[in-house]
Amino acid sequence: MTRHSKLNAIVALLLFTITLSSFAAPPKREFYEIKIYHLKNSDQETRVENYLKDAYIPAMHRAGIKNVGVFKPVASDTMAGKLIYVFTPLKSLEQLLDIPKTLAKDAAYASAGKDYIDAEYKNAPYARYETIVLQAFTGMPMHKKPALTGPKSERVYELRSYEGHTEKIYRNKVKMFNDGGEVPLFERLGFNAVFYAEVIAGSHQPNLMYMTTFDNKASRDEHWKAFSADAEWNKLKVNPEYQNNVSKNTSFYLTPTDYSDI
């Protein structure tokens, strides 16, 4: 084979590779479980935290789920000491359904979590918990660990919930994130998002949720000030296509526990 023909063959191979990559399937959209524990007192708070730290998170790691987030309301919140949020990323709904079976087979989990697992009816470790199941946006199909450098104790994680008037109007807000450019706008402005996702099961629907993260409260306020002043956002928010697509916007200000993976 001549040098010229070899070069042609290499070029052809490169073009073929580029063509194949253009048809590659996009990343599969993850699913997320957010479990919110409701607590009566500090004793229940301690027991749930011990369970999460010593039993649940290690068991999830053994099952191949690396990034489990545990968050509590910031100290100034009236719900501080009354709620614990647990974020578990999942590859599929089947994996969510398999978690109880996975835990049931884990002897180390059973031993480390005995106080929680075998609690008597008259001494329950929590008052109640609720579960929200979500599917990641196409614009960010997989979660990310935030690139923060400040101490966990000072961090502010903002969990936002956007409810829609109807299913159709709600989907318009999802489109605003995915196709309208909100996701890349947050990325450009350094909001360190953990996830953006559609709620597929929960008490408030139709609904989407996302979590952005900051080194501290001052950083959070600076980022939102920059967002409000951004030319791209000010153009997007008046786009006639995306008007009146949120009926209720709620923010929950959280801080990660010292044993949280995220």
- Spatial separation of the C-alpha atoms in residues 186 and 189, rounded to whole Å: 5
Give the residue among 177, 152, 180 at the shortest CA–CA distance from 239: 180
Tens digit of pLDDT at every position of the chain (262 positions): 565 555 455 445 554 454 444 456 667 999 999 999 999 999 999 999 999 999 999 999 999 999 999 999 999 999 999 999 999 999 999 999 999 999 999 999 999 999 999 999 999 999 999 999 999 999 999 999 999 999 999 999 999 999 999 999 999 999 999 999 999 999 999 999 999 999 999 999 999 999 999 999 999 999 999 999 999 999 999 999 999 999 999 999 999 999 999 9
Q: What is the phi/psi pair of residue 91, to 5°?
A: -80, -25
Q: Is the peptide bond before 141 cis (omega within 30 degrees of 0)?
A: no
- CATH number, domain containing residue 79: 3.30.70.100
Half-sphere exposure at residue 107, Cβ-oriented, CA atoms within 13 angstroms:
0
Q: Is residue 36 part of a domain?
A: yes
The SS3 of residue 133 is strand
Q: Is residue 3 part of a domain?
A: no
Q: Is residue 146 part of a domain?
A: yes
Q: Is residue 262 part of a domain?
A: no
pLDDT of res. 5? 57
Q: Is residue 94 part of a domain?
A: yes
Q: Is residue 7 part of a domain?
A: no
- Spatial separation of the C-alpha atoms in residues 192 and 214, rounded to whole Å: 7
Q: Is residue 10 part of a domain?
A: no
The answer to whether 133 and 202 have CB atoms below 8 angstroms apart is: yes
Segments forming the whole domain that contains residue 249: 31-256
Q: How many domains does the chain have?
A: 1
Q: Is residue 26 part of a domain?
A: no
pTM confidence score:
0.89
The SS3 of residue 213 is strand
